[in-house]
Structure 1
Amino acid sequence: MKRNSTEFGILPAFHGDCLLIKTFDSNNEEFIILIDGGTAQTFKYSLKAELKDINHINLLILTHIDSDHIAGLISLFKSSLIDNIIVNEIWMNHPEIVEINSDELISTRQGDTLKDLILLKKPDVKLLEISTKDESILRQGVELVILSPTPQIKDELYRQWKLSNFPKTDNDNVKISSQKEEYSTSLVDLSKISFSPDKSINSDIFNSSSIAFILKCLDISILLLADARPEVITESLRLNCFSETKPLEVDYVKISHHGSLNNTSQELLGLIKCNNFIISTNGGTADHKFPSRETIARIIFNSQRNDEDLNIYFNYKIEELKERIGDFIYDMDFNEGNWNAINRNWF
């Protein structure tokens, strides 16, 4: 199929991530990239429908092994739908990916592995582990500049995985902006609070091991951050010669970890020039609510802002997010910063 423009969808993935990118290669042949599968419900309610007319995925990426990214892919590979889809290449980092019975749990004791399912259904697929050691990967004119994880973080993931069984808990246990006083603080004031994550990289190894990259299509560019840590991305951008005076310029940024407080720093945003930011979340779970009001403040009042409109896109309606997490943004917030909050799934 011929194509001459890129479109991509941030599918309604509940509290997870699922991205479907339809771009084109140097011969104007369609090039399909699927990034994560969201929750099991994501496959049932949205991904399945999006894939029913697709018979070829050029690149499938599992960014990391958290349940809100892997469960939908397990559902896909357990379905008959995958039998009718050619998959050329799969990226994923793990010594063993395990079956999960719900969208909240990960345990090394459970079930069949995703790798086993892949090898069963797609025995000839090209399976790759990815780290910043790979630097830039080119596929038929489509370039992916790898920013995370480092080889050291990937090795630490494997070490922790092999030494212990991870607990059956949600691995998104991060500090969020849920206190009333933080919700009532102005965005300008919140943007000035120094970034101070409550976990180290090694104690947040699932998110730290996320595969994050700059996607350079022939017509647009997207910074896709999965659930990556800002410290890792910042270091990688600087190693790629980006700085506050020479920032990375992209058309879109998919913000890390559903807009979590711990995954977007002022320093990182100071290395990026972009007017379109995307947050994938339905508001999170009962215990872990996203996005953080502080993250929104940092995006709006970051040092690379100019006078142009800034758009923050959500893949669920703003009203639905507020029903789950409260008034994380107010009408008065739009009086400063020249920005918009927009519900949109396809770009």
Structure 2
Amino acid sequence: MELIITSFEAKYGDAFLIEEHDSNIRFLVDCGFKLTYKHHIKKRINSVDFIILTHSDEDHINGVFPLINDYPEKFTLNKIYVNSPESIQVPRTNGVISIRQAKDLINLLQDKELPFGGLMQGQTIRASKNLSLDIISPTKTELDSYYKKYNSEVADVPQNTKGTNISLNSATKSVAEWANQPDSFPKKSDDIANASSIAFILNFRDKKILFLADSHPEVISDYLLKQGFSSKQKATFDYIKLSHHGSSKSISKQLLSMISCNNFIISTNGGKAKSKHPSVETIAKLATLVDRNSNEEINFYFNHSISAIETRNGPLLSAEERLLYKINYIEQNEIRIT
């Protein structure tokens, strides 16, 4: 029995293929950009059981449009999970609301008569006997806020829809100095789109993989607290797909204090424009503050060239610091779990 997680090269976006060969189950988590589908997904597969679209940012959702246009002649699937007013009922005001890309997607799904539904904290997808997904984000509260935020957009009322800034790698600091930096995540009310991201724990036999999409750290830490985890009773994971491409604005010291893991997946080519990721601060905090689950080394898996990321953004810690803190950078877009 083997689970294969493929992280497609989706530039600064997310696109994952998860396959369990024993049961012949496979599904996608996000689809990156349109070229991600054309150059990667389409060349690898032409059928999945389902797709989870974690939220409506372009770097997660745009690749699904050409995929759906290929349905059912060139690409087959059974269902898409996406949160929208049409797919999941949450108390709200003023009727149907949606951001433009999400609304365009729902219209396309309806035109294609492709089944879709929503996901929220507390639900479980049972994909096979040995494979299940426990949904941990968003809560009904975050979904309600997400829908309310875009009421005015649908009504063509001007509104500030500026997205969350991603980390900027700037002044050089030591690992210890980076680790001591205070939390910089925004308020959930200022980060509605990411706070409403679908995040889940992937259970494969006795293994647990945490997929954080672009989720807000307080949503995840609140969930873990409700499950009885704390700094003394930690939640253990075999792998964690870091939120928001390793941005320091998507982690918190409280969350880091409650998890035990030594394998972290980073999906990015380094970012765009002035936004740079992963953040050196994130790597430093993970390397110094997170329990490594009885392992000496900590591993960061990149799906793009590390040298290209560092050429663009500057060093992600020096070789001496990585040796001192036993940090491994690994260029590998396929992870096999037995």
TM-score of Structure 1 vs Structure 2, range by shorter chain: 0.7 to 0.9
Residue 2 of structure 2 corresponds to 5
Residue 102 of structure 1 corresponds to none
Task: Give the 5 Å matches for 1:1-347.
Answer: 4-23=1-20, 28-52=22-46, 55=47, 57-78=48-69, 80=70, 82-95=72-85, 108=99, 113-121=104-112, 123=113, 125=115, 127-134=116-123, 136-141=124-129, 142-164=131-153, 172-179=163-170, 181=171, 184-197=172-185, 199-218=186-205, 220-305=207-292, 306-347=294-335
Q: Structure 1 residue 171: deviation in Å?
A: 5.5
The residue type paired with residue 188 of structure 1 is A
Q: Structure 1 residue 109: deviation in Å?
A: 5.8
Q: Secondary structure at the match of 1:245?
A: coil
Distance 1:249 1:120, change over 3 A: same
Q: Residues 206-261 of structure 1, C-alpha deviation per residue, up to 9 Å, x if partnerless?
A: 11110001010236321000000111100001112222222222211000000111
Distance 1:13 1:110, change over 3 A: closer
Query: Separation in 2 of the partners of 1:20 and 1:147?
Result: 20
Q: Structure 1 residue 82: deviation in Å?
A: 4.8
Contact 1:6 1:219 in 2 (8 A): no
Query: Separation in 2 of the partners of 1:346 and 1:34?
Result: 14
Distance 1:118 1:83, change over 3 A: farther
Query: Separation in 2 of the partners of 1:178 and 1:262?
Result: 12
The residue type paired with residue 111 of structure 2 is L
Q: Residues 279-322 of structure 1, C-alpha deviation per residue, up to 9 Å, x if partnerless?
A: 10000001211111100111111241345211011111110101
Q: Residues 43-64 of structure 1, C-alpha deviation per residue, up to 9 Å, x if partnerless?
A: 1221221224xx3x22210000
Contact 1:66 1:171 in 2 (8 A): no
% same residue: 34
Q: Secondary structure at the match of 2:136?
A: strand
Query: Separation in 1 of the partners of 2:134 and 2:101?
Result: 34
Contact 2:125 2:134 in 1 (8 A): yes
Query: Separation in 1 of the partners of 2:244 and 2:206?
Result: 26
Q: Structure 1 residue 172: deviation in Å?
A: 4.6
The residue type paired with residue 16 of structure 2 is L
Q: Secondary structure at the match of 2:312?
A: helix
Q: Secondary structure at the match of 1:36?
A: strand
Distance 1:110 1:332, change over 3 A: closer
The residue type paired with residue 20 of structure 1 is L
Q: Residues 43-88 of structure 1, C-alpha deviation per residue, up to 9 Å, x if partnerless?
A: 1221221224xx3x2221000000100001112112x365344322
Q: Structure 1 residue 9: deviation in Å?
A: 0.4
Q: Residues 178-218 of structure 1, C-alpha deviation per residue, up to 9 Å, x if partnerless?
A: 22x2xx20112211222132x21121111111000101023
Which stretch of structure 1 is more off in the superposition, 209-218 or 84-93? 84-93
Which stretch of structure 1 is more off in the superposition, 37-46 or 273-282? 37-46
The residue type paired with residue 47 of structure 1 is I
Superposition CA RMSD, Å: 2.5
- TM superposition score normalised by structure 1: 0.85
The unaligned stretches of length 5 or more in structure 1 are 98-106
Q: Residues 84-124 of structure 1, C-alpha deviation per residue, up to 9 Å, x if partnerless?
A: 44322321112379xxxxxxxxx956797112222333x25
The residue type paired with residue 65 of structure 1 is S
Q: Secondary structure at the match of 1:341?
A: strand
Query: Separation in 1 of the partners of 2:319 and 2:102?
Result: 48
Distance 1:205 1:289, change over 3 A: same
Residue 104 of structure 1 corresponds to none
Contact 2:25 2:127 in 1 (8 A): no
The residue type paired with residue 89 of structure 1 is K
Aligned length: 321
Query: Separation in 2 of the partners of 1:277 and 1:109?
Result: 32
Contact 1:144 1:213 in 2 (8 A): yes
Residue 101 of structure 1 corresponds to none
Query: Separation in 2 of the partners of 1:345 and 1:212?
Result: 20
Distance 1:200 1:93, change over 3 A: same
Q: Secondary structure at the match of 2:78?
A: strand
Q: Secondary structure at the match of 1:301?
A: helix
Contact 1:223 1:250 in 2 (8 A): yes
Q: Secondary structure at the match of 2:276?
A: coil
Query: Separation in 2 of the partners of 1:92 and 1:111?
Result: 9
